[in-house]
Amino acid sequence: MLKLTKSCHDQDCIEIRNPTEHQRNTIRSIVMNNWVESEDYKMKQSAGPFLQCDYEDYLLVEFWGDTEFIQPFIDYLNKKLEIPIGTGHFVFQRIRADNRK
């Protein structure tokens, strides 16, 4: 379970030591999601998460957004991390350079 703490830069953050592949992939995909229509994007926007460190044995996400939105975003991440690998709704669509499908 992810918990809010302070980084060495005195920023609100979450830290994971020795993250699993599932944790790393889930957190990275949400923090780096820029599809504005997605729930992940909408949840992260106000919290302002920033992937500060992404090493094999250490993951650090700092928050540069409004304090009131950080804990709800962490709760959202924790909920997403509970979803087993290989479940959920996935959409794959090829889009050609000329926008034809």
29-47 pLDDT, tens per residue? Answer: 999 999 999 999 999 999 9
Is residue 40 within 8 Å of residue 29, measured between CB atoms? yes
| Beta carbons within 8 Å of 70's beta carbon, 6+ residues apart | 4, 12, 47, 63
Q: How far apart are CA 88 and CA 76, in angstroms?
A: 15
Residue 53 phi, psi dihedral angles, 5° rounding: -135, 135
The pLDDT score that the predictor gives to residue 54 is: 94
Residue stretches of the chain with pLDDT short of 70: 84-101
Give domain limits for the chain: 5-81
**What kind of fold does domain 5-81 have according to CATH?**
Ribosomal Protein S8; Chain: A, domain 1 (3.30.1370)
Tracing tokens 């889009």 back to the chain, one arrives at 95
Overall pTM > 0.75: yes
